[in-house]
Structure 1
Amino acid sequence: MQPKLPIQCPSCENALSVTQLSCGNCSTIVSGNYSLPLLLQISEEEQNFILQFFLSSGSLKEMASQMGNSYPTVRNKLDDIIQKIKNLTPSP
């Protein structure tokens, strides 16, 4: 099992940033202060929901059937994730 990438500080729960990347082939190391990609800033449950939405070709009706939930429940979950992503996205 591969370890899960942490996205929050275990001490203060603030968002973590990537400060170092390394190449397993040539051992090159790149340092800096990079933010996590947007989809890594949401919970694993929300990531799985988005993946299921994608795999069901965007059919909330199909997702509701697979999840054993009502269409409005699944729609509300999607709306919540959309709002969370909008809040994470910087305004132009």
Structure 2
Amino acid sequence: MSERPRRGAVHEHRAPSDCPVCGDRLAVTRLGCGSCGTELAGVFTSCAFCALDEAETEMLTVFLASRGNLRDLEKHLGVSYPTARLRFNQLLEKLGLAEPAEAAPTTPTREQVLAEVASGALSPDEAAALLASL
């Protein structure tokens, strides 16, 4: 038998990081206690990792669990090494931990992207996004 949530329980949802109207970064301005109802208002610094989506969080978790082994990340993602490295560099850029110029040498060629689509390692949508960035 599953446990029912207690009355007034707060369900955890991932907060959006970007404004749905203008696309700018959202600021955390209110914090609340789900237990007693206490609320704090102000402008609070948000966590850099909180802006990651579920797939990016999973990719970072796999990378850390494999002690920084990009080959393990490549296997987990089911893509080629250059694509795994590109995605990881994009993640580092999103976290503000890498220079944008670092991604340039590892960018796959158009032919590599098309070959990965043909092999099924890359979806057409992912390939379109990669090709648009070339």
Please report the TM-score for the alignment, with normalisation by the length of structure 1: 0.75
Match of 2:83 among 49, 73, 86: 73
2:74 is the counterpart of 1:64: yes
Gapped regions of structure 2 (runs ≥ 5): 1-10, 98-134
Quick one: percent identity of the two aligned structures? 30
Shift of 1:84: 2.9
Which residue identity lines up with residue 49 of structure 2 in the other structure?
A: L
Secondary structure, aligned partner of 2:79: coil
Relative CO higher for 1 or 2, CA cutoff 8 Å, sep ≥ 6? 1
Q: TM-score, normalised by structure 2?
A: 0.55
Displacement, 1:75? Answer: 1.6
2:38 aligns with one of 7, 19, 28: 28
Question: For structure 1, which runs of at least 5 residues remain unmatched after alignment?
Answer: 88-92
Paired letter, 2:81: Y
Distance 2:49 2:13 in 1: 18
- The letter of the residue matching 1:52 is V
Residues 26-74 of structure 1 deviation map (CA, whole Å, 9 limit, x = unaligned): 2211111113211123444322221221222321111212222122221
Please say if residues 70 and 81 of structure 2, whose CA atoms lie closer than 8 Å, have aligned partners that are also in contact. Answer: yes
**2:92 equivalent in structure 1:** 82
Indicate the structure (1 or 2) with the bigger Cα radius of gyration.
2
* Length, aligned pairs only: 87
1:2 shift after superposition? 4.5
Say what the alpha-carbon RMSD is for the aligned residues: 2.1
The residue aligned with 1:90 is none
